[in-house]
């Protein structure tokens, strides 16, 4: 049996040290394909679907680079950002004086210049990258523990577009063995591929670290009048035996949930009234001596 470390630094954990068994096994991609009932490889996308996969391809290279430099990735966020706005905010939990690295990346076809600004919980600017490119990078030590606002801001979009997809990777410097996120990244790619082939426009993808008895909620605005939306989530099958996914509307009503036994969850729902929707992930039945796991969720809708 080999041992490893949790994804989060010790101060994030709620109990004891952890060690894990064998390296991460492949995630249930065959089960994902069966549930979504769409061929895994799509040569042409349906009309009106803008593909996220060029950004995901670049994201894979960033993941490899960040991990090779000794950073343990804890969060990945993929979304859409527009120019002439205050940008898209991504909450990032940081520890006091922990060396952290944030790497952003914009859709090369749509975003010529993408900036990254990081604000503390008091609204003070603590780090920024305003270089004229679409791959901002900041490395710093958080002045205090808290939830920071990593804001992606479009400084210049291409002539044809007002905005585009972005990705943001955050991690902390670790002297221990890095637990790679590539298997969950592969599951994200597969989910996006299947959803796009079925005519769904991917709006957001989130990769998070889930602690024991510590659910994570992604909140995002969805347009109204949309009959078919899907949220697909999966966790590391090596670390968690079950992953729950619940979707609530802006009034707090439960619109769909998947609480089956297994590390894959799929929900389908409609959106009558535009507004914030909440996607809650909770890892259950963590495996022996495991304190946390990683999980991803992809949100997509048809006809928008």
Between β-strands 226-235 and 264-271, what pairing exists: parallel, antiparallel or unpaired?
antiparallel
* Residue 248 CA: distances (Å) to CA of 15, 195, 280: 30, 21, 8
Rounded to an integer, what distance in angstroms lies between the CA atom of residue 271 and that of residue 304?
Answer: 11
239 or 177: which carries more pLDDT confidence? 177
Domains contained in the chain, CATH given: 10-50+181-302 (2.60.120.380), 71-173 (2.60.120.380)
216-222 and 146-157 beta bridge pairing: unpaired
Q: What is residue 10's DSSP assignment?
A: G
Beta pairing, strands 111-119 & 240-248: unpaired
Q: What is the mean pLDDT of residues 101-125?
A: 94
Cα 302 to Cα 134: distance, rounded to the nearest angstrom: 28
Reported confidence tier of residue 164, pLDDT bands at 50, 70, 90: very high
Task: Please answer whether residues 186 and 194 qualify as being in contact, where contact means their C-beta atoms are separated by less than 8 angstroms.
Answer: no
pLDDT exceeds cutoff 80 at 259: yes
**DSSP structure class, residue 281:** E
Percent of the chain with pLDDT over 70: 86
Distances (CA, A) of 24 to 16, 28, 179, 263: 21, 12, 9, 13
Report yes or no: 242 and 263 within 8 Å, Cβ to Cβ: yes
pLDDT of residue 251 exceeding 50, the answer is yes
Q: What pLDDT score was predicted for residue 25?
A: 32
What pLDDT, on the 0 to 100 scale, is given for residue 106? 94
Average pLDDT over the chain, rounded to an integer: 83
Residue 298 pairs in a beta bridge with 205, 232
- Using the predicted structure, report yes or no on whether residue 11 has a pLDDT greater than 50: no
Its pTM stands at 0.82
Q: Mean pLDDT lowest for which of 5-9, 225-229, 290-294?
A: 5-9
């Amino acid at each position: 049996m080999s041992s490893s470390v949790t994804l989060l630094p010790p101060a994030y954990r709620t109990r004891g040290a952890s060690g894990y068994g064998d390296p991460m096994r492949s995630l249930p991609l065959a089960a994902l394909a069966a549930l979504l009932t769409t061929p895994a490889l799509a040569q042409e996308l349906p009309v009106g679907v803008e593909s996220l996969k060029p950004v995901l391809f670049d994201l894979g290279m960033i993941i490899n680079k960040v991990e090779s430099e000794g950073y343990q990735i804890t969060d990945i966020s993929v979304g859409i950002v527009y120019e002439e706005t205050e940008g898209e905010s991504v909450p990032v939990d940081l520890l006091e004086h922990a060396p952290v690295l944030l790497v952003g990346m914009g859709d090369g076809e749509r975003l010529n210049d993408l900036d990254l600004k990081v604000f503390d919980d008091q609204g003070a600017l603590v780090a920024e990258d305003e270089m004229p490119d679409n791959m901002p990078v900041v490395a710093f030590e958080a002045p205090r523990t808290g939830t920071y606002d990593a804001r992606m801001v479009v400084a210049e979009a291409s002539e044809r577009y007002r905005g585009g997809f972005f990705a943001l990777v955050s991690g902390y410097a670790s002297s221990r063995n890095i637990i790679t996120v590539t298997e969950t990244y592969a599951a994200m790619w597969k989910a996006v591929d299947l959803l796009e082939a079925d005519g769904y426009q991917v709006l957001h993808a989130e990769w998070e670290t889930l602690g024991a008895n510590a659910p994570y909620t992604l909140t995002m605005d969805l347009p109204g009048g949309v009959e078919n939306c899907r949220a697909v989530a999966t966790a590391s099958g090596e670390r968690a035996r079950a992953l729950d996914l619940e979707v609530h509307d802006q009034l707090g009503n439960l619109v769909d949930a998947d609480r089956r036994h297994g590390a894959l969850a799929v929900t389908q729902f409609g959106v009558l009234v535009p507004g914030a929707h909440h996607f809650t992930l909770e890892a259950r039945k963590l495996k022996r001596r495991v304190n946390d796991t990683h999980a991803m969720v992809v949100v997509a809708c048809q006809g928008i």
